[in-house]
Structure 1
Amino acid sequence: MRQGRITLGPVRVEDAARLARVLGAVPPPAVRPAPVAGTDAAFVGALLGHVFPEATGGGALSVSVREEAPGLLDLGAIDARTARRLVRALRF
């Protein structure tokens, strides 16, 4: 925690995709063209960035692809209020 914000940090693309689905993202079609290096990460990052505000009532999340490690996404920091809403969204 830094300046009242919680940094989520690096996450594997597969885990980010799972988080996006749990938060309500529509899964991508089963048939997709073969991925180009980094394309899946960019797609999952955009998907998570889109669904996160909807699931948390407006909280924004920055998501970026690590160029040196395309299998990882960097998730930015969220404030404590957004973190509480995220926890509520994750409860089933």
Structure 2
Amino acid sequence: MKLQFALCFVILAASMANAYDGDGQPGCKTQEELDIGVFRDNWDPSSYWKCETMDEPATKVRCPTESGFMDSLKDCVNWEEWQWEKPVAPPSEVDA
């Protein structure tokens, strides 16, 4: 039993160590980011980041009332349609 608990703990710790925990704001430093245009705000599902100008940090945009941003659709959807998705790091990030 102790071995199973220890193994579960190690697996959980490893998965958490690999999890991206940033807010998702891209630095808009690549053409890819400008082409994609919008990125999930990992800390606020009712908003997203928008890249408009190279080398300028993305701006935060709020979804309409009663909706959340779905990264897989790159669009705001009604909360009834919204589903949690695993956060991913943008291609570049804002310099600290």
Q: Under a length normalisation based on structure 2, what TM-score does the superposition of the two structures give?
A: 0.28
Q: Under a length normalisation based on structure 1, what TM-score does the superposition of the two structures give?
A: 0.29
Rg larger in structure: 2
* Structure (1/2) with the larger helix percentage: 1
Higher relative contact order at CA 8 Å, sep ≥6: structure 1 or structure 2? 1
